[in-house]
Amino acid sequence: MALVLDPTKKATFGFKDQDGKRASVTLFTTAAGVDPTAAPYSVTAPLMQACSHAILDSVRVSVTAHEDTPATPGDSAYCSGLDKLYLSFRGEDGGYVKLNLPGPKENQFVANSIKANVSQTDLAALIAYIIANCKTAEGRPLRALDAAFRRSPPRTRRGI
Protein backbone atom coordinates (compact mmCIF):
# COMPACT_ATOMS: atom_id res chain seq x y z
CA MET A 1 0.00 0.00 0.00
CA ALA A 2 1.47 3.33 -1.08
CA LEU A 3 -0.28 6.66 -0.78
CA VAL A 4 0.54 9.38 -3.29
CA LEU A 5 -0.21 13.05 -2.60
CA ASP A 6 -2.62 14.81 -4.89
CA PRO A 7 -1.00 17.74 -6.69
CA THR A 8 -3.32 20.31 -5.08
CA LYS A 9 -4.24 21.44 -1.57
CA LYS A 10 -7.82 22.44 -0.75
CA ALA A 11 -8.18 25.72 1.14
CA THR A 12 -11.58 26.52 2.65
CA PHE A 13 -12.15 30.07 3.85
CA GLY A 14 -14.99 30.33 6.37
CA PHE A 15 -17.15 33.45 6.59
CA LYS A 16 -19.87 34.58 8.98
CA ASP A 17 -22.43 37.29 8.12
CA GLN A 18 -24.16 39.80 10.41
CA ASP A 19 -26.86 37.23 11.27
CA GLY A 20 -24.28 34.59 12.18
CA LYS A 21 -24.97 32.52 9.05
CA ARG A 22 -21.98 30.64 7.69
CA ALA A 23 -20.67 30.49 4.16
CA SER A 24 -17.41 29.28 2.69
CA VAL A 25 -15.19 29.72 -0.32
CA THR A 26 -13.03 26.82 -1.50
CA LEU A 27 -9.92 27.23 -3.61
CA PHE A 28 -7.39 24.70 -4.81
CA THR A 29 -3.72 25.59 -4.80
CA THR A 30 -0.45 23.91 -5.70
CA ALA A 31 1.29 25.52 -2.72
CA ALA A 32 3.77 23.27 -0.96
CA GLY A 33 2.76 24.31 2.55
CA VAL A 34 -0.32 23.43 4.56
CA ASP A 35 0.03 26.09 7.25
CA PRO A 36 -3.11 28.27 6.97
CA THR A 37 -1.24 31.22 8.53
CA ALA A 38 1.42 31.21 5.78
CA ALA A 39 1.36 32.20 2.11
CA PRO A 40 -0.59 31.82 -0.11
CA TYR A 41 -3.45 31.54 2.41
CA SER A 42 -2.30 34.50 4.52
CA VAL A 43 -2.22 36.62 1.36
CA THR A 44 -5.56 35.41 -0.03
CA ALA A 45 -7.51 35.84 3.23
CA PRO A 46 -7.11 39.63 3.60
CA LEU A 47 -7.80 40.13 -0.11
CA MET A 48 -11.08 38.22 0.26
CA GLN A 49 -11.91 40.12 3.47
CA ALA A 50 -11.38 43.42 1.66
CA CYS A 51 -14.04 42.40 -0.86
CA SER A 52 -16.67 41.14 1.61
CA HIS A 53 -18.89 42.51 4.38
CA ALA A 54 -18.92 39.05 5.96
CA ILE A 55 -16.20 38.29 8.50
CA LEU A 56 -13.58 35.79 7.42
CA ASP A 57 -13.09 33.83 10.64
CA SER A 58 -11.35 30.60 9.63
CA VAL A 59 -9.07 29.02 7.06
CA ARG A 60 -8.78 25.25 6.73
CA VAL A 61 -6.21 23.61 4.48
CA SER A 62 -6.57 19.95 3.62
CA VAL A 63 -4.23 17.62 1.81
CA THR A 64 -5.43 14.44 0.10
CA ALA A 65 -3.52 11.34 -0.92
CA HIS A 66 -4.77 8.38 -2.94
CA GLU A 67 -3.70 4.76 -3.09
CA ASP A 68 -1.50 4.26 -6.17
CA THR A 69 -2.27 0.54 -6.52
CA PRO A 70 -5.88 0.09 -5.41
CA ALA A 71 -6.81 -3.37 -4.19
CA THR A 72 -10.12 -5.17 -4.62
CA PRO A 73 -12.38 -5.05 -1.53
CA GLY A 74 -12.77 -8.34 0.32
CA ASP A 75 -15.86 -10.51 0.20
CA SER A 76 -17.20 -11.88 3.47
CA ALA A 77 -20.21 -11.80 5.75
CA TYR A 78 -19.23 -8.40 7.16
CA CYS A 79 -17.42 -6.73 4.27
CA SER A 80 -20.16 -4.17 3.66
CA GLY A 81 -19.35 -0.54 4.39
CA LEU A 82 -22.46 -0.58 6.58
CA ASP A 83 -20.79 -3.06 8.95
CA LYS A 84 -18.41 -1.30 11.33
CA LEU A 85 -15.66 -2.02 13.80
CA TYR A 86 -16.49 0.51 16.51
CA LEU A 87 -13.63 1.75 18.71
CA SER A 88 -14.06 4.33 21.44
CA PHE A 89 -11.05 5.91 23.16
CA ARG A 90 -11.07 7.99 26.35
CA GLY A 91 -8.89 11.07 26.63
CA GLU A 92 -7.13 12.52 29.66
CA ASP A 93 -9.75 15.28 29.74
CA GLY A 94 -12.65 12.79 29.83
CA GLY A 95 -13.44 13.37 26.16
CA TYR A 96 -14.01 10.54 23.73
CA VAL A 97 -12.68 9.79 20.27
CA LYS A 98 -14.91 7.39 18.35
CA LEU A 99 -13.90 5.50 15.25
CA ASN A 100 -16.15 3.42 12.98
CA LEU A 101 -13.99 1.39 10.60
CA PRO A 102 -16.10 0.07 7.67
CA GLY A 103 -16.04 -3.51 6.38
CA PRO A 104 -14.15 -5.16 9.24
CA LYS A 105 -12.49 -8.55 8.82
CA GLU A 106 -13.99 -11.47 10.77
CA ASN A 107 -10.73 -12.15 12.63
CA GLN A 108 -11.07 -8.75 14.33
CA PHE A 109 -13.81 -10.23 16.54
CA VAL A 110 -14.09 -12.90 19.20
CA ALA A 111 -15.78 -15.99 17.71
CA ASN A 112 -19.60 -15.95 18.04
CA SER A 113 -19.55 -12.49 19.63
CA ILE A 114 -19.79 -8.82 18.70
CA LYS A 115 -16.78 -8.07 20.94
CA ALA A 116 -13.61 -7.02 19.18
CA ASN A 117 -10.57 -9.26 19.63
CA VAL A 118 -8.22 -6.51 20.86
CA SER A 119 -5.33 -8.97 21.11
CA GLN A 120 -5.49 -9.72 17.37
CA THR A 121 -2.20 -8.42 15.91
CA ASP A 122 -3.53 -5.91 13.34
CA LEU A 123 -6.17 -4.52 15.66
CA ALA A 124 -3.78 -4.29 18.63
CA ALA A 125 -1.31 -2.35 16.46
CA LEU A 126 -4.04 0.07 15.29
CA ILE A 127 -5.26 0.67 18.86
CA ALA A 128 -1.74 1.23 20.20
CA TYR A 129 -0.91 3.65 17.37
CA ILE A 130 -4.09 5.69 17.87
CA ILE A 131 -3.54 5.97 21.64
CA ALA A 132 0.09 7.04 21.14
CA ASN A 133 -0.45 9.52 18.30
CA CYS A 134 -3.99 10.94 18.33
CA LYS A 135 -5.68 13.52 20.55
CA THR A 136 -9.17 14.48 21.69
CA ALA A 137 -10.91 17.41 20.00
CA GLU A 138 -9.50 19.62 22.77
CA GLY A 139 -5.95 18.48 22.01
CA ARG A 140 -5.49 16.25 25.07
CA PRO A 141 -3.76 12.83 24.84
CA LEU A 142 -5.78 9.65 24.70
CA ARG A 143 -5.54 7.45 27.77
CA ALA A 144 -7.14 4.12 26.87
CA LEU A 145 -9.50 2.13 24.71
CA ASP A 146 -12.97 2.41 26.23
CA ALA A 147 -15.04 0.11 23.98
CA ALA A 148 -14.52 -2.15 20.97
CA PHE A 149 -17.26 -4.09 19.20
CA ARG A 150 -18.98 -4.81 15.88
CA ARG A 151 -21.86 -2.69 14.67
CA SER A 152 -23.97 -4.01 11.86
CA PRO A 153 -27.08 -2.84 10.08
CA PRO A 154 -30.33 -4.74 10.54
CA ARG A 155 -30.29 -7.78 8.26
CA THR A 156 -33.29 -8.33 6.06
CA ARG A 157 -34.70 -11.77 5.52
CA ARG A 158 -34.25 -13.01 1.99
CA GLY A 159 -37.10 -14.43 -0.03
CA ILE A 160 -39.87 -12.47 1.66
pLDDT in tens, 30-67: 877 788 888 888 999 999 999 999 999 999 999 888 88
Kindly state the average pLDDT of the residues 21-38.
87
How far, in whole angstroms, is CA 81 from its chain's centroid? 15
What contacts 48, CB < 8 A, 6 or more positions away?
Answer: 13, 25, 56
Q: Is the model's pLDDT at 103 over the cut of 70? A: yes
Q: Which residues pair with 150 in a beta bridge?
A: 85
pLDDT of residue 79: 62
Residue ranges per structural domain of the chain: 3-67, 84-151
User: Distance between CA 33 and CA 52 in Å, rounded?
Assistant: 26
